[in-house]
Structure 1
Amino acid sequence: MSPPFKLKKPCLVYSFGIGQDWRFEDDVYDFYKCKVLAYDPSIGKKAHNRTDLIHFKPYGLGAVTDHWSKGWPMKSFRQHLKDEGHLKTVIDYVKFDIDYWEWEVIKSLTKDNILQYVKQLAFEIHLLPVPITKKTDRTIKKTEFIEKFEILKALEAIGFKKFNYRLNPFCGYTSTITGIVRSKCYELHYMNMDFVDTEHLEKRQGHFMNKT
Structure 2
Amino acid sequence: MLSGGLSDSAKPLDIARWHAWNNFGACRNLKFFGGRFWKEWLFPDGKRRDYMDGHKAVCLDEHIRPVSGNCLVYSFGVKDNWSFEDALIEYGCEVYGFDPTIEEPEQTGERRFIFHKIGLQAKDKVNTKGWHMKSLRSIMTLLGHGNRIIDVIKMDIEQSEYEAAPNMIDSGVTAQIKQIALETHNFLMSRQDSQNYRFKYQQIYKLEKHGFIRFSSQAGMGSDRLNEIANISDFFIYEMAWYNPKFYFV
TM-score category (smaller protein): 0.7 to 0.9
Equivalent of 1:69, from 115, 128, 133? 128
User: Which TM-score applies when normalising by structure 1?
Assistant: 0.79
The one-letter amino acid of 1:186's match is: Y
Partner of 2:197: 145
Partner of 1:57: 116
Q: Residue 34 of structure 1 contacts residue 53 of structure 1 at CA under 8 Å; is this kept in 2? A: no
The one-letter amino acid of 1:146's match is: R
What is the Cα deviation at residue 68 of structure 1?
Answer: 1.0
Q: Residue 159 of structure 1 contacts residue 194 of structure 1 at CA under 8 Å; is this kept in 2? A: no
What is the Cα deviation at residue 157 of structure 1?
Answer: 2.9
Partner of 2:89: 29
Partner of 2:220: 168
Structure 2: 5+ residue stretches without partners: 1-59
What is the Cα deviation at residue 182 of structure 1?
Answer: 4.5
How many residue pairs get aligned? The number is: 190
Q: Residue 16 of structure 1 contacts residue 39 of structure 1 at CA under 8 Å; is this kept in 2? A: yes
CA distance in 1, matches of 2:131, 2:114: 19
Partner of 2:145: 86
Structure 1: 5+ residue stretches without partners: 129-135, 199-212
What is the Cα deviation at residue 162 of structure 1?
Answer: 0.8
CA distance in 2, matches of 1:188, 1:64: 24
User: Which TM-score applies when normalising by structure 2?
Assistant: 0.68
Q: Deviations over 1:87-116 (max 9, x none)?
A: 211111000100011101112112111110
Partner of 2:65: 6
CA distance in 1, matches of 2:182, 2:229: 28
The one-letter amino acid of 1:122's match is: A
Q: Which has the larger radius of gyration?
A: 1
Indicate the SS of the match to 1:116. Answer: helix
What is the Cα deviation at residue 180 of structure 1?
Answer: 8.7
Q: Deviations over 1:155-177 (max 9, x none)?
A: 12322111111101333146257
CA distance in 2, matches of 1:140, 1:97: 26
The one-letter amino acid of 1:26's match is: D
What is the Cα deviation at residue 145 of structure 1?
Answer: 3.1
Moved over 6 A (4+): 177-181
